Homo-oligomer: A and B are copies of this chain.
Amino acid sequence: MKSLPIQIKLTDNRKEKPNPETLIFGRNFTDHMFVADYDEGKGWHSHRIVPYAPVSLDPASIVFHYGQTVFEGLKAYKSPNGTVRLFRPEENMKRMNLSLDRLCMPRIDEDLALNALTQLIQIEKDWIPTVEGTSLYIRPFVIANEAFLGVSPAKKYQFYIILSPVGSYYKEGIHPVKILVENEFVRAVKGGTGGAKTAGNYAAGLKAQEVADQKGYAQVLWLDGVEKKYVEEVGSMNIFFKINGEVVTPAINGSILEGITRKSILHLLRHWNIPVAERQISMDEIRDAYDNGTLEEVFGTGTAAVISPVGELNWDGYKMVVNHNETGPLARQLFNTLTNIQTGNEEDPFGWILQLNNELAKLA
């Protein structure tokens, strides 16, 4: 990991830390943040760790009007022996660059960004909660801050990393949720921005979520935008189906986000010699599997929730209750293994964990 000279200015006013037993996702932020500026011709510069503070932007900033912004999400955990652990952070930095490319935004140096992140977390390590199910959520993001009302890529950007101590994404923890298959609204389509982690994809999904909420469903299952036939994602997670002993997840096709939890689960399944397929999967096929009794488990995967079992799928009024609306054994096993590796309760045989203490020792 490359070392980055970062200006550090610590706050004089430390905030009170929230009660780890009642943490809500995404509401509390730590005392400091990382910031860097980009100017065309000069590149990224002025890397700094500063007190967490409002962003000051010209009202004509491109991010407000033309949506040039990308983000990432990952988590840090404190292991039982006090070590700070990051889960596959290099994958997030790599994906961030793919997103930046798609949005015509300047790439970051992945190594330097990772180094900045470790320095920030070192400063904020007392903010990492240790109660079961909690972690420090990390949100790197880049916004276009040039003041210009023209539809073209900005010449000025800012890169931020902010940190938020979080509880479980779903207040209830791991338990099956009811999902509405979405036939009207579309999250993303081939040729669009669905494969990038950018704000517009999430904004596009809110309306369908609102309708699902009103009908008593926790999330929507997105279908492809062309034929409305093939499964894409669930809410803002990837989705897996266990059908007759085989685990199937939609193949990466340009409109699906390539989740890092998705990738890790595929790795675990293959490691366990469980049959796995990444391919197109239609709702017809899922209904057939349900009808003939081979739809064994369905679950969503993502950084925030890790694993989110699906207890019911409603497709145009046809209700499919999965595994008696209980968390299936595979979902449970994947959740336990992943979270145990993340938190340090189980060994990491895959080299997924970056131990902060080791990294900082290398820099010293």
Contacts and interface: CB of A to CB of B under 8 A. Distances in A.
Interface stretch (A13-21, A22-30, A276-284): A22-30
A276 to B, nearest CB: 28
A66 interface: yes
Contact of A203 (B58, B139, B198): B198
Contact of A59 (B33, B152, B187, B205): B33
Interface string A219-240: 0000001101000000110000
A193 B200 contact: yes
A184 interface: yes
13 contacts: A54-B58, A64-B141, A67-B199, A102-B207, A151-B235, A152-B206, A185-B191, A189-B226, A191-B228, A192-B204, A198-B203, A200-B201, A226-B226
A220 B265 CA distance: 40
Interface of A: 25-27, 29, 33, 52, 54-61, 63-69, 71, 73, 102-104, 137, 139, 141, 143, 147-153, 160, 162, 164, 184-193, 198-207, 209-210, 225-226, 228, 235-236
B206 A68 contact: yes
Contacts of A228: 191
Nearest to A190: B186
Nearest to A203: B67
A19 B129 CA distance: 57
Contacts of A206: 66, 68, 103-104, 151-153
A206 B66 CA distance: 9
Nearest to A57: B55
A149 B160 CA distance: 14
Contact of A186 (B61, B139, B191): B191
A209 B152 contact: yes
Contact of A56 (B55, B141, B184): B55
B200 A162 contact: no
Contacts of A191: 184-186, 225, 228
Nearest to A71: B65
Contact of A193 (B60, B63, B204): B204
A141 to B, nearest CB: 6
Contact of A189 (B55, B68, B73, B189): B189
Q: What 8 pairs between A and B have smallest CB-CB spacing? A: A200-B200, A67-B199, A26-B149, A186-B191, A67-B203, A66-B202, A189-B189, A104-B206
Contact of A57 (B29, B54, B148): B54
B60 A57 contact: no
Contacts of A188: 192
Point out which of A64, A68, A207, A210 has the most chain B C-beta atoms below 10 A from its C-beta. A64
A59 B54 contact: yes
Nearest to A225: B189
Contacts of A190: 186, 225
A64 B63 CA distance: 7
Contact of A151 (B141, B153, B236): B236
